[in-house]
Amino acid sequence: MSSPIRFEIRDRVATLTLDRPDKLNALVPEMREGFGEALAKAAEPVVKVLLLRGAGRAFCAGGDIGWMAKALSEGRWTEMEALLDLGTSVAYALATLPKPVVAVIQGPAAGAGMSLALDADLRIATPEAQFSMAFVKLGLHPDWGGSVGLSRLVNPAIAAELMLTGDTLDAARAQSLGLVNQVVPADQLEAAVAALIHRLAAGPADTFARIKATLLRNQGLDVGSLQARLAAEGAQMKAAMRHPDAKEGLAAFLEKRAPRFA
């Protein structure tokens, strides 16, 4: 089986690609090693910028619902929590990586997929992109840094709206809320991405690191408080996973019906 993560470094640009296009790049535990190796290599001095992408027509549909439902029904809590812990570590690594992180969103970015996009510093999308903090529709709590990232980017009322409703945003509204930096036609996407990453790759690495630290600090965060917020988010998701609403929400999604929450 091919790896669900592809990674390459070219011209000082590292590219991490989620590579499960037939599953809309849904997240699974098998990605742990790929994420770990990719983020370690992205931290090396030869890399000036990290690009996050999804293969095929989606960025990332979030956690693999089929895998999650089966693991939940079989009580495989260790595996479930390992996937949640992976999300916490990835979100922390991206926020503290001392170089720019750019996400390219050409289609759905839902649940943990939206979270992963928000973990980046900059986001470029096509008009076909869609964003949803869909967790609540499954009886779940945001993870992979989603609640932390969203609260850094929008005002509290908007963060509450998106997390409590799970409504889908098109690219235009996402840009109007400040969740997307650029929206470009699909046929211009690669040129726009290339222009941005080449500009960043030619920039001052030490200054980029200082700017990322300053951005965290100006939002009232440092590495310790960021880690604490991500850990608290993960604890809430683990608790939600053990509630009957999660089993019902996942089953309803797979059965294509409205959930009947407690």
81-112 b/e (C-beta count within 10 Å ≥ 16 → b):
eebbebbbbbbbbbbbbebbbbbbbbbbbbbb
The contacts of residue 255 (CB under 8 Å, 6+ apart) are: none
Q: Is the pLDDT of residue 259 over 90?
A: yes
Instruction: Identify the band that residue 3 occupies on the pLDDT scale cut at 50, 70 and 90.
Output: confident
Query: Rounded to 5 degrees, what are φ and ψ at 133?
Result: -85, 70
Strand partners, 18: 5, 54
**Tell me: the pLDDT tens digits for 75-126?**
999 999 999 999 999 999 999 999 999 999 999 999 999 999 999 999 999 9
Residue 258 is classified by DSSP as: -
**How many angstroms separate the CA atoms of 35 and 30, rounded?**
9
Q: Is the pLDDT of residue 177 over 60?
A: yes
User: Do the strands 130-132 and 108-110 form a parallel or antiparallel pair, or are they unpaired?
Assistant: parallel
**Tell me: the pLDDT tens digits for 185-243?**
999 999 999 999 999 999 999 999 999 999 999 999 999 999 999 999 999 999 999 99
Q: Is the pLDDT of residue 8 over 90?
A: yes
